[in-house]
Amino acid sequence: MNDLRGAVALSHLLLRERVRAGDRVVDATCGNGNDTLLLAKLVGPGGRVWGFDLQERALVATRELLAAEGCLAQAELVRAGHERLGEYVTEPLAAVVFNLGYLPGGDKGVVTRPVTTLRALNAALDLLLPGGILLVAIYTGHDGATEEEKAVLVWGSGLDPKAFSVWTSRQLNRPPTAPYLVLVEKRRNGA
């Protein structure tokens, strides 16, 4: 069990709680593949994880990681913006993960952006199963991060509470600039 330090650790705890073998799930920002790997392990060979990234470098890293862990068979890695999610995925999803910002150690010019992030979040909500969760790790350090953060918070605040439960989770004993998590659950008995 990992320490609960930071947004990604909390997101992994929630994924372990909710994602089951055989589920369909999406990693909307593969990056170095850490979230994709966890999802691939949780869904197992009978499940499916779609991983999106704009950068070939990210997909190569993710593919290598999954192959090394014997999880590649249940993964479909897509070089496309997550805003095009609906073109690639039509199956109901148990979980969707976003890790905003840039690829650690990569090109800081390739970052998630408010318009495409919102388009992808809406596409993800459309596909989410009742009881399904959408997790967004919000970063504050990249170009345009403040606008993106505001856009996600306004979007989340506007979701109908009869249909969705929306949370933010911050680690209080870290600087206010530390990454934090937004969680959306599609309610099982929602509107």
Residue with tokens 């470098």: 57
Q: How far is the CB of 62 from ligand SAM (least distance, A)?
A: 8
Q: How far is the CB of 162 from ligand SAM (least distance, A)?
A: 30
- Are 123 and 80 contacting, i.e. CB atoms less than 8 angstroms apart? no
**What is the DSSP secondary-structure string of 73-135?**
GGEEEEES-GGGHHHH--S-EEEEEEE-SB-TTS-TTSB--HHHHHHHHHHHHHHEEEEEEEE
Q: How far is the CB of 87 from ligand SAM (least distance, A)?
A: 12
- Are 32 and 59 contacting, i.e. CB atoms less than 8 angstroms apart? no
Nearer to ligand SAM, 82 or 162 (CB): 82
Nearer to ligand SAM, 92 or 105 (CB): 105
Q: How far is the CB of 49 from ligand SAM (least distance, A)?
A: 12
What is the C-alpha to C-alpha distance for residues 162 and 73, in angstroms, rounded to an integer?
A: 37
Nearer to ligand SAM, 34 or 171 (CB): 34
Q: How far is the CB of 116 from ligand SAM (least distance, A)?
A: 4
Residues interacting with ligand SAM, by CB under 6 A? Answer: 29, 31-32, 34-35, 52-55, 58, 81-83, 99, 101-103, 110-112, 116
End-to-end Cα separation, the chain, in angstroms: 36
Nearer to ligand SAM, 50 or 164 (CB): 50
Q: 18 — phi, psi (to 5°)?
A: -105, -35
CA dihedral over 92, 86, 163, 146, signed as positive or negative:
positive
Nearer to ligand SAM, 110 or 163 (CB): 110
Nearer to ligand SAM, 32 or 74 (CB): 32
Q: Which residue is nearest to ligand SAM (CB)?
A: 31
**Alpha carbon distances (Å) from 7 to 19, 53, 99, 135, 147:** 18, 20, 9, 10, 19
Q: How far is the CB of 37 from ligand SAM (least distance, A)?
A: 8
